[in-house]
Amino acid sequence: MSSPNPATTCLPASGSNANRAELPENALVLPPTTQLQALLTIIRDEKTQRGDFVFTSDRIIRLLVEEGLNHLPVVPKTVRTPVGLEYEGVTFQGRICGVSIMRAGEAMEAGLRDCCRSVRIGKILIQRDEETAQPKLFYAKLPDDISERYCLLLDPMLATGGSCIKAIEVLLSHGVKEERILFLNLIASPEGVNNVCTKFPKLRMITAWVDEGLDSRSYIIPGLGDFGDRYFL
């Protein structure tokens, strides 16, 4: 029996109005296992206390990071085992770094460090410009050699995609190749997925779930509220 692909664009019938045909090819969604749905139910519940919200969110983030690492290139590597025999394995090709979109994206840094010890992490702060109503860069602190690395961009919520698009533009302006950007996200709207992945067809996006859409205020529905407030406050 063949094993299923680690990530798929197939979505469950409930909880989302997106389907395989509607999502760009470079958008991947974690398999809708009962475990993942149970974890998402906990963090969506308005009654969930902060401790449980953080613990459960961290579990989902770990799943996203592990899946993201599956999409990084590898090269062959042969090692000798303690019994004196050779094992033909692989090792990652090139170095990586994480970049969190502040503030909510910082919640995903620990999950990345759990999987990649001593990984370098940069930060980008983007906020809405009250005069133009467009996302504006306020702060960026990135590794000096980021142009030579594969970049895991971290942000748990993707609504319209404006902040994410701006962050990607910042990475590109610092020499990061589009095909070396991997965007990790917990919950997305179909509009946000299409906006980001259509504008940047060479990057890859991995999300845990695609929700129904956006309301009149551009809030993700059914969503989970303000992720940063629930995680940090």
Write the pLDDT tens digit of every residue in 36-89.
999 999 999 999 999 999 999 999 999 999 999 999 999 999 999 999 999 999
Write the pLDDT tens digit of every residue in 183-205.
999 999 999 999 999 999 999 99
The distance of Cα 225 from the centroid of its chain, to the nearest Å, equals 18
pLDDT higher than threshold 60 for residue 20: no
pLDDT at residue 79, as a whole number: 96
Closest CA to 12 of 28, 33, 39, 38: 33
- 128 is an active site residue: yes
Write the pLDDT tens digit of every residue in 74-130.
999 999 999 999 999 999 988 999 999 998 999 999 999 999 988 999 999 998 776
Q: Spot the catalytic one: 45, 52, 145, 226.
A: 226
- 132 is an active site residue: yes
What global pTM score does this model have? 0.88
Non-local (6+) Cβ contacts of 143 within 8 A are 97, 120, 122, 149
Q: Spot the catalytic one: 8, 33, 52, 128.
A: 128
pLDDT at residue 134, as a whole number: 79
- The CATH architecture assigned to 27-232 reads 3-Layer(aba) Sandwich (3.40)
pLDDT at residue 135, as a whole number: 85
Angle between helices 34-44 and 50-69 (to 10 degrees): 140
Domains of the chain by residue range: 27-232
Q: Spot the catalytic one: 45, 145, 215, 229.
A: 229
Residue 203 · residue 151 · CB < 8 Å: no
β-bridge pairing 27-29 and 74-80: unpaired
